[in-house]
A and B are shown apart, each in its own frame.
Chain A
């Protein structure tokens, strides 16, 4: 049996990363190909593991977002006609046209839903999906159990075959990477961070308002007793959306360190005492699973992600949308000794297995084989 996995983009985070990890893991049981609608750093990662001949990139860019849905279906149909896959694994609601196209071609189709209700509504509102897409699916894979509720709320439908897959990462690869290299970060004055002296509160991503770089910055200002480390692009020209960059240069917070673009973020994450997901919107933050697997406690907000139910059971979860005030209240209540204690860090141990792709892929293969 062969599977074509459709990725709507090729970033190394979020849903695309999970889709890539799944595609690679399915190779054990299926003849797997990947069709990526846009280019990105995930592509070479997949090509390295599946072989370049099994990966095709359509490089559609942003044009998809401005193309009427019916036209996108036609494009998708043309693309899938060249794919041998018996099953089309559509890795995001954002690529819903491939669900319709697959059915037009008589193929079985599985939709991996990562989005929460608000994001679903957003996609509907931007004509990136349609209410009739769900009933066309032979099966649905959920990034979180609560997404089933959102699907019912938004689409008024839940297909008969549903698998709660959750988030998956390659635990072994992450653990290995975490032990490699130096984790260097500097503050605005150019001073390097001294790991271990004070609590290190970290966040990964491309500095932007969506990622809450301003919330992270203001939290650092509000909790000067801790060190804050941003892993990823922070300054221009790579991050024109960093709304606090001017303040960063001007105020020169001594406890805010940035790493710049990091090829290996795991060496930083493993040194964090707390991972603070400052994002305003990040439906499927794979990085949280990665932090969890590295034993790092997490602080997040319930309206940021599609996995609030999980975070409420494994992390420090604040209600509502991400904001500095609530975050600072928690950060200022942190007791270094307690937060670094094995007892505290072990609170999440029971959840780690649920993220390891090696332990989860069998269930997915069985699910796909049963359709």
Chain B
């Protein structure tokens, strides 16, 4: 019943109509009274005429008496006539008395009715006053309704109780309706029902109507809404006809709607052979058969969703109108009362939500379901303007279901594929939206590629401990999106999105679909939509995230400006296993995470875990890792590149070199230690700042001052230091840095002093003898800026104890003389390096060699290691490793050999030192490198 009776014609007519009915009955009584008066007058007139005729007859009788005996027969006739007339007069008098008595009774009745009329007028004044009170109360209650949907039920109850008083005041008039009180109480004094009941009673009391009609009225009265009917059909209201009777006699045939939630046309579409009276058919058969009286009322759903309805045997629509609607129950899977009322707010009429929506709600632009957007549906369906409630349009037009998205997050095609993936079929009787919504909270179905229902469920139920009570997407749209920590999909982090885009008034994921993608928004620390889209070549309309997830089986496009590579599939799959694998053991996880277990069968893996692994603290499943790490799924880093993790945490090599062993290290340990998981972390998060920062690549702006030569000296025999220092002095005419590696076994404080005295400013380092002179040079190079010099000179305290001392001395000195024999030689060589970019190595021609000796194996291994092609594998080198060399060759040697584990020969016999060590191989390799890198030898 509308709240404001004074504004609703049908409602406003109610108390006066009752008075009018009484007035009409009074009029009929008055008519009877007038007729009785007329009859009395007519009788009196007849009596007077008869009396006159008797008088005239008596007069004639008196005049005839002297005429004789013959005159007695006519007198006897007259006497008999008079007797008859007298009897007639007596009868008429009796009738007159009877009419007088009847007249008195009628008058008494009139007086009684007039008394009632007065009383009713007094009551009407009282009712009007009460109506005013009710109106004020309605305002207050409507205010309450704005505050919470729950208050609505209380409001309805309160209102009905108030109205109850009004109707009870009419009770004496309807005292003959024995079941009035019980019925009124049962229907919560719902005005529509009471009004319909009165109409039904009126019809039932009218014996002039056929029994069939009266029976039909009785059947449909519960679903007939006289208020709606009169409001909808003003001609009926103007005629003052009983609306229920009108519907039965004319309205049904004319296709008039008997109730706001009964659409005859829609009903007939389900049952083409239904008789003329669709509502009657619905009551008699359709309801039980599960046919829908309205696109937005689904009796099957209603019964299934609310078992108490089915148990009570109540007709669903009647139940919904009288009880369910007021309790906030949903009339169909696609009409969400709670959602609707929350959005309708203060404008809600206080009526039933669905009726409100079908009336004013949709015109106010309020959508009744989180997954229905009238605006987006209109755009998708090409509808310029709706003629009725948009959701009803959607429901009534199956031809639009496959092509028109009812909401940006509801993709019918994706949903159909999702059904197929789960082995489910579409239902022709349900729209895709209805099909989706009809699933319970347990179903992890998603109608959009960007909503990951199982992921969402995991976060809500496992991490937050809240049980989902409806499908995940609905929970997200209705409440979950307010929690910025809940990810709708792995690459959509609402917190990141909000930080980049600002706070949105709609779910961030929806905002992304509608606007954010076009704006190049960042959806996740590792996903920059603008960056991603800029690299796409498909030209498709899909957003970056949709494209990514469609291609997620093999991501090919980088999504982070600084990652330099596409996201890896492995972290995503790892998260999936967290979600999908129930229990605490996953043999696949176990094998992959612990490479030391090899390729165990599932049975063996379980046995190992139970017998050993668990006790050793091994994790049995990915979820265990997260739990033990006290981390949430959003903490799993999608920017985890295991190779880069290993590169910056080389200490983890023993754990394993694949993704699984390393992620199970990172989550519980590495993250707390802030270990690097990708080079992308080295960059400034430009999106978080509001001023431009230099874009990569960053150019080297500063050229370091170049030095002519870097002199590398390796000292094993300290006694030869003065000789080398003398050669080193020949470099004084050029700019130089001197680096000296002293084998620590040869070091003494005195030698240190001698070093400093002979070569002040030199860099002196102590190290072991691993790798002989080559190893020493490499260790020195740890301290050298390789790009700073024009050339490198290599010298070492070579003694060659396997040959006569003098030959050894000659070998050593002639090697050094060739490139450092005098300041002039040094200057000339430096100039040569500067002027001839083809010069790679300057060394003594006397010690050019092509002998491989016992070094074949190590040499060839080095050739492979340095990827020397066949054409440069010819052997030509400087025997003795003292020369000047171009920095590029030095760099190549150093970069490959810097981490080499060199042999230590300190405890080996002389033969060991002569040949066959890695250092001997490198000595020979140098020549190949010179040629491979496009340089040439200068033999001096």
Point out residues on A near B: beta carbons under 8 Å: 65, 68-70, 73, 100, 103-104, 121, 124-127, 130-136, 146, 148-149, 152, 155-160, 162, 302, 308-309, 312-313, 316-320, 326, 329-330, 333-335, 338-339, 343-344, 347, 350
Contact = CB atoms under 8 A, between A and B. Distances in A.
B931 interface: no
A148 B783 CA distance: 13
B681 A124 contact: yes
A125 B648 contact: yes
B871 interface: no
B753 A317 contact: no
A148 B704 contact: yes
A133 B684 contact: yes
A156 B765 CA distance: 28
A335 B744 contact: no
18 contacts: A104-B689, A125-B648, A125-B675, A126-B674, A133-B684, A148-B702, A156-B700, A162-B702, A308-B783, A309-B763, A318-B744, A318-B766, A326-B767, A329-B744, A333-B747, A333-B748, A334-B749, A338-B750
Contacts of B596: none
B764 interface: yes
Contacts of A135: 693-694, 698
A319 B770 CA distance: 12
Interface centre among A121, A132, A308 (most CB of B within 10 A): A132
A335 B782 contact: no
A329 B745 CA distance: 7
A35 to B, nearest CB: 21
B615 interface: no
B780 to A, nearest CB: 8
Interface string B756-779: 100011111111100000000001
A368 to B, nearest CB: 18
B685 A69 contact: yes
Contact of B753 (A73, A103, A338): A338
Secondary structure call for the B interface: loop
Interface centre among A104, A131, A329 (most CB of B within 10 A): A131
Contact of A127 (B681, B688, B702, B749): B681
A146 B690 CA distance: 34
Given A132-B694, A312-B765, A317-B764, A344 B701 contact: no
A326 B767 CA distance: 8
A330 B742 CA distance: 12
B699 interface: yes
Given A318-B767, A326-B766, 12 more contacts: A125-B674, A125-B676, A131-B682, A132-B694, A136-B693, A302-B765, A312-B783, A313-B761, A317-B765, A319-B782, A338-B753, A347-B753
Contacts of A350: 760
Given A70-B688, A146-B785, A152 B767 contact: no
Contacts of B766: 316-319, 326, 330
B752 interface: yes
4 closest residue pairs by CB, A with B: A125-B676, A70-B688, A312-B763, A319-B767
A307 B25 CA distance: 117
Contact of B701 (A130, A157, A318): A157
B123 to A, nearest CB: 72
B214 to A, nearest CB: 78
B744 A330 contact: yes
Contacts of A316: 752, 766
B397 interface: no
Contacts of B765: 302, 312, 317-319
A279 to B, nearest CB: 17
Contacts of A338: 748-750, 753
Contact of B697 (A70, A156, A335): A156
Contact of B702 (A133, A158, A308, A326): A158
A129 B506 CA distance: 35
A329 B210 CA distance: 124
Contacts of A335: 748-750
A301 to B, nearest CB: 10
A104 B688 CA distance: 12
A188 to B, nearest CB: 29
Interface in B181-230: none
Interface string B664-708: 000000000011100001111110111101101111111010000
A343 B753 contact: yes
Contact of B749 (A100, A134, A333): A333
Contacts of B745: 329
A131 B693 CA distance: 11
Interface residues of B, number: 50
B783 A302 contact: yes
B701 A160 contact: yes
Contacts of B704: 148-149, 152, 158
Contacts of A302: 765, 782-783
A130 B682 contact: yes
A318 B742 CA distance: 9
A326 to B, nearest CB: 6
Nearest to B762: A313
Contacts of A317: 764-766
Nearest to B693: A132
Contact of A160 (B674, B702, B767): B702
B741 interface: yes
Nearest to A162: B702
A130 B782 CA distance: 25
A104 B762 CA distance: 44
Contacts of A134: 698
A309 to B, nearest CB: 6
A314 to B, nearest CB: 9
B753 A125 contact: no
Given A121-B648, A157-B700, A65 B764 contact: no
A316 B750 CA distance: 12
B762 to A, nearest CB: 7
A194 to B, nearest CB: 22
Nearest to A329: B744
A157 B683 CA distance: 13
Given A302-B783, A317-B766, A131 B702 contact: no
A152 to B, nearest CB: 6
B281 to A, nearest CB: 67
A313 to B, nearest CB: 5
Given A133-B684, A319-B779, A330-B747, A159 B674 contact: no
A130 B684 contact: yes
B691 A104 contact: yes
Interface string B235-249: 000000000000000
Nearest to A124: B682
Interface in B860-912: none
Nearest to B562: A131
A338 B752 CA distance: 10
A131 B561 CA distance: 13
A344 B753 CA distance: 6
A131 B684 contact: yes
A126 B671 CA distance: 10
Nearest to A319: B767
Contacts of A343: 753
Nearest to A136: B693
Contacts of B690: 104
A252 to B, nearest CB: 30
B683 A130 contact: yes
Contacts of B699: 157
A347 B752 contact: yes
A333 B744 CA distance: 9
Nearest to A347: B756
Contacts of B763: 309, 312-313
Contact of A103 (B681, B691, B741, B744): B691
Contacts of A133: 684
A355 B779 CA distance: 28
B785 A158 contact: no
Contacts of B779: 319-320
B562 to A, nearest CB: 8
Nearest to A340: B749
